[in-house]
Copies of this chain bind each other. A is one copy, B any other.
């Protein structure tokens, strides 16, 4: 068994570590989504959520809302368009801007997700790290250990008889 260097090196590898845990969490989240039979990627959800919350947004505003760069927003928006979850049209007052809005199908997905999937994911993540406290490195260690014990998909879904 080889030592986990990233973990051992602490603050020095904090970036790698956060990325790694984030990727793991997103993969686990994807599993929950897939098990629910929805055809969407975990990383696409924030885009839909942003439009649902704020109304139609431009590509640039989406990038800002989701915290990525504009080309990334352009690509993901293209995928969502392809999937039929959003629609896109030039802003009336400025032909450069493209306003992205939810289609009926997109709104349905969001509404359903708000009822069924999102609470479940939030609950699972809260179960994993909601009660943690203390220095961040210790919390990250606890999260990694927790994920090794039980992935998100096995954490406080809808409470079932055990």
How many angstroms between the C-alpha atoms of A132 and B126 in the bound complex? Answer: 20
Choose one: B18, B26, B28; the contact of A25 (CB below 8 Å): B18
How many angstroms between the C-alpha atoms of A130 and B12 in the bound complex? Answer: 12
How many angstroms between the C-alpha atoms of A61 and B2 in the bound complex? Answer: 6
State whether A46 touches B139 (Cβ < 8 A): no
Choose one: B17, B22, B125, B129; the contact of A12 (CB below 8 Å): B125
Q: Does A81 contact B (CB under 8 A)?
A: no
State whether B18 touches A19 (Cβ < 8 A): yes
Residues 111-139 (chain A) with a chain B CB within 8 angstroms: 118, 121-122, 125-126, 129-130, 132-136, 139
Binds B, one of A64-72, A89-97, A98-106: A64-72
A4 contacts which chain B residues (CB < 8 A)?
A: 64-65, 67
**Interface of A: prevailing SS:** helix
**Which residue of chain B has its CB nearest to the CB of A126?**
B11
Interface size class of A (residues with CB under 8 A): 35 or more
State whether A26 touches B16 (Cβ < 8 A): yes
State whether B2 touches A65 (Cβ < 8 A): yes
Choose one: B6, B64, B139; the contact of A2 (CB below 8 Å): B64
A19 contacts which chain B residues (CB < 8 A)?
A: 18-19, 22-23, 26
Q: Does A77 contact B (CB under 8 A)?
A: no
A50 contacts which chain B residues (CB < 8 A)?
A: 2-3, 5
A46-B6 in contact given A15-B25, A22-B18 (Cβ < 8 Å) = yes
State whether A11 touches B130 (Cβ < 8 A): yes
